[in-house]
Amino acid sequence: MNHIVSRVRKPVRREGAERYLLFTLLSFAASVALTRLFLELADYPQLGGDELHIAHVLWGGLLLFAAALLPLIFANRWVYVTGSLLAGVGVGLFIDEVGKFITQTNDYFHPAAAPIVYALFLLTVLVYLQVRRPPARDARDELYRALDGLQEVLDRDLERSERLALEFRLQRIAEQEEHPDLAHLAKELLDFLSSDALHLAQEVPSLLERLLERLRTFEGRWVTERRLKAVLVGGLAALGILAVIDLCRLLLAASDPANLQRMIAELVAMGRVASSSGMFWFAARVALEGSVGLLLVVAAGLLIANRDARGVAAAYVGLLLSLAAVNLLIFYFEQFSTILSAVVQFTLLLGIFYYRRRYLTPQIFLGSEIVKRGG
């Protein structure tokens, strides 16, 4: 038994794991959105003839199987990028048909399908946020990642900047005293990296690096504090006002029984409400959406009044509530037509992060320094 326990190894996060998981997230979202769009435009065609129906869940399973096989067969680093993309597309094609699996009638259009897909996507985002945290820095973990980076030597693709990063990592391992065997191995690898026989590839920016450089150029030329604030205020105000208008309409209809019955009839005719319980959840959705919308309007007002710290905090809370809670109900009633709204909310949240990091954090830091010096 002790022998079995001793064979258990503490997991080590792979170098670049957050990048691979991001590829999975993006391909997951794109596969679901594009699949629904294609089926809608093509009037939901069936592949297989009169008797058979080859659903796209089968293609999703095939891609997931390929994503699992690739790292078992090949050791090259490109396998992780390919596998992450195949896994994202595969899980998107698979989970898109969840409505058939949760209903006895195999209802692809069941209202609960879209919230389930969205919830799975949010859970994957949470995993991504956890993976983005700084990894462990002990000698064993660092040496794992250093050995992974040495694959560039075997592919004769090691660039000068990559060698410097490897040398920095190995130097830290060599200087620690807790594991002398690992320190000795790190020193030997350092000697190898510093030898004249080592082949260094020419520095050639990748497609992603060139894209990021263009984005930085665009940012430096066009993105200013005033312009970014204007975009954030406009987006927050638009989302908030639309949600508050829906809430006001519901409250006005509830005050008049005739108007309320007319609204219920319209919702039933549109297929958005099928029962009294459905009307309850619809009212809960509108109330929650309106409350969050009011918070977004307040955030926009605070930003206009130059109370940026409070405005950013209110916008962060409102957008987070909308993405994590309100959208689950909206997806139930609106289905995948609300994808565009979710993308807008997520884009605004990224804008809030950017605005806080670039324009507020230095001010907060300087303010604390002033307080310290004044004290």
Sign of CA dihedral 119, 124, 125, 126: positive
Query: Which residues, including other chains, have CB under 8 Å from residue 279's CB and lie 6 or more apart?
Result: 264, 267, 273
136 backbone φψ class: left, alpha, beta (φ>0; ψ -120 to 50) = beta
pLDDT score recorded for residue 3? 55
pLDDT score recorded for residue 37? 87
Quickly state the pLDDT bin for 77 (edges 50, 70, 90): confident
Query: b/e string for 141-155 if b means 16 or more Cβ within 10 A?
Result: bbbbbbeebbebbee
Quickly state the pLDDT bin for 127 (edges 50, 70, 90): very high
CB contact at 8 A, 84 and 17: no
User: Can you give 57-93 as a three-state secondary structure string?
Assistant: HHHHHHHHHHHHHHHHHCCCCHHHHHHHHHHHHHHHH
pLDDT over threshold 60, residue 276? no
The mean pLDDT value for 88-106 works out to 91
Least confident of 63-77, 213-227, 316-330, 351-365: 351-365
Quickly state the pLDDT bin for 372 (edges 50, 70, 90): very low
pLDDT over threshold 70, residue 6? no
**Full-model pTM:** 0.79
pLDDT over threshold 50, residue 370? no
Q: Tell me the residue ranges of DSSP E strands in 68-168.
A: none
Quickly state the pLDDT bin for 361 (edges 50, 70, 90): low
Residue 295 and residue 292: Cα distance in Å, rounded? 5
Q: Which residue has the higher pLDDT, 119 or 216?
A: 119
pLDDT over threshold 50, residue 362? yes
Residue 5 CA neighbour count, 13 Å, CB half: 2
Least confident of 85-89, 135-139, 163-167, 358-362: 358-362
DSSP 8-state symbol, 136: P
pLDDT score recorded for residue 5? 46
pLDDT over threshold 60, residue 369? no
pLDDT over threshold 50, residue 367? no
